C-alpha cells in the first residue's frame, strides 16, 4: 500500500456502522466485485454510482462500528475506493481493514479540513494527506510499530506464512 493514492473525497458523519456499509442481507455474498456494488448502500445508496475509482471516504469518529463482518472493508475496497480517512475507527474494522489491505488513516485535522468533492492525495508511507483543492496538507497518525510490521509484511496472511515456515524449520 505504498503507492500514492489520489481521488475525490466523499464526506460522512460519525459512527458509520457496518450495517450501513454493507447491509446484512448481502453478507452471504462471497464475490468481491458483487459486494463492491453495494458499498455504503445503507447510508448513501448513490455512493457507488457517483464515485470514481480512487475516491476516498472521509468520516468523523468511530468509523466501522458494529458487526465484525469482514465484508465491510472488502466491499469498500472492491467498490474502487482507495482509502478511508476518519477521526477514529472502531477496533474490529481497523483490524479487518489492515488485514485485507484497505488503506485507512486516522487524522482529525484532515477530516476537519476536507469537504466532499475536494481532490485528495495520500502518501501511505508517510501518512501525509494533501488537499489539492484547498492547497493544504495534514498528517495522519503513525501506525504503532507492530501494525507497521504487519503492513510491511503485506498483511496478516504473509505474517502467518512466515510463522508457519519458522516453526517448521525450528
Partner 1 sequence: MGMTLTEKILARHCGLERVEPGQIVNAKVDLVLANELSAAVAIGVMRKIQGATRVFDATKIALVADHFVPAKDAQSASLAKLMKEFAAEQEIEHFFDVGRGGIEHVVLPEEGLVAPGELIVGGDSHTCTYGAFGAFATGMGSTDIAAAFVLGEVWLKVPASIKLIYTGAPGPMVYAKDIMLRTVGELGIDGATYRALEYHGTTVDELSITGRITMANMAIEAGAKNGIFRADEKTIAYVKERTDRPFVVERADPDATYERVVSIDVGALEPQIACPHTPDNVHPISEVAGDDLPVDQVFIGSCTNGYIDDLRVVAKILEGKRIAPNLRVIVNPGSQKVWMQAAQEGILTTLAAAGCAVNTPGCGACFGGHMGTLGDGERAISTTNRNYVGRMGSPKAEIYLASPATCAASAVTGRITDPRVLEYAPMSSASPTSS
Q: Which is nearer to partner 1, 88 or 107 (CB)?
A: 88
Is residue 127 at the binding interface for partner 1, with CB under 8 A as the rule? no
Q: What is the CA radius of gyration of the chain?
A: 16
Which residues, numbered 25-44, are part of the site for partner 1 (CB under 8 A)?
25, 27-30, 42-43
CB contact at 8 A, 20 and 66: no
Interface segment toward partner 1; rule CB under 8 A; list 51-59, 105-113, 115-123, 154-162:
154-162
Distance between CA atoms of 130 and 102, rounded to whole angstroms?
19
Show the 3-state SS of 23-77.
CHHHCCCCCHHHHHCCCCCCCCCCHHHHCCCCCEEEECCCECECCCCCHHHHHHH
Interface segment toward partner 1; rule CB under 8 A; list 59-67, 78-86, 117-125, 127-135:
59-67
Given candidates 71, 84, 110, 114, which one binds partner 1 under the rule CB under 8 A?
A: 71
Task: Give the nearest distance from C-beta 132 to partner 1 in angstroms.
Answer: 31
* Percentages of the chain per state (helix, strand, coil), in multiples of 5: 35, 20, 40
Binding region for partner 1 (CB under 8 A)? 15, 17, 19-20, 23-25, 27-30, 42-43, 61-62, 65-71, 73, 88, 90-92, 95-96, 99-100, 144, 146, 155-157, 159-161, 163-165, 168
Amino acid at each position: 500500500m505504498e503507492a500514492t493514492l489520489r481521488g475525490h473525497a466523499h464526506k460522512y458523519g460519525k459512527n458509520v456502522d457496518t450495517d450501513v456499509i454493507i447491509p446484512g442481507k448481502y453478507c452471504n455474498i462471497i464475490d468481491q466485485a458483487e459486494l463492491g456494488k453495494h458499498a455504503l448502500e445503507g447510508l448513501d445508496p448513490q455512493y457507488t454510482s457517483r464515485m470514481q475509482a480512487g475516491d476516498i471516504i472521509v468520516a468523523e469518529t468511530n468509523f466501522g462500528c458494529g458487526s465484525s463482518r469482514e465484508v465491510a472493508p472488502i466491499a469498500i475496497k472492491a467498490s474502487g475506493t482507495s482509502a478511508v480517512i476518519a477521526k477514529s475507527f472502531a477496533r474490529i474494522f481497523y483490524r479487518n481493514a489492515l488485514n485485507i489491505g484497505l488503506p485507512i488513516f486516522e487524522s482529525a485535522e484532515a477530516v476537519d479540513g476536507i469537504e466532499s468533492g475536494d481532490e485528495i492525495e495520500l502518501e501511505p508511507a508517510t501518512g501525509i494527506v494533501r488537499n489539492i483543492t484547498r492547497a493544504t496538507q495534514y498528517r495522519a497518525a503513525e501506525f504503532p510499530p507492530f501494525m507497521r510490521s504487519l503492513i510491511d509484511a503485506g498483511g496478516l496472511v504473509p505474517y502467518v506464512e512466515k510463522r508457519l515456515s519458522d516453526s517448521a524449520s525450528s
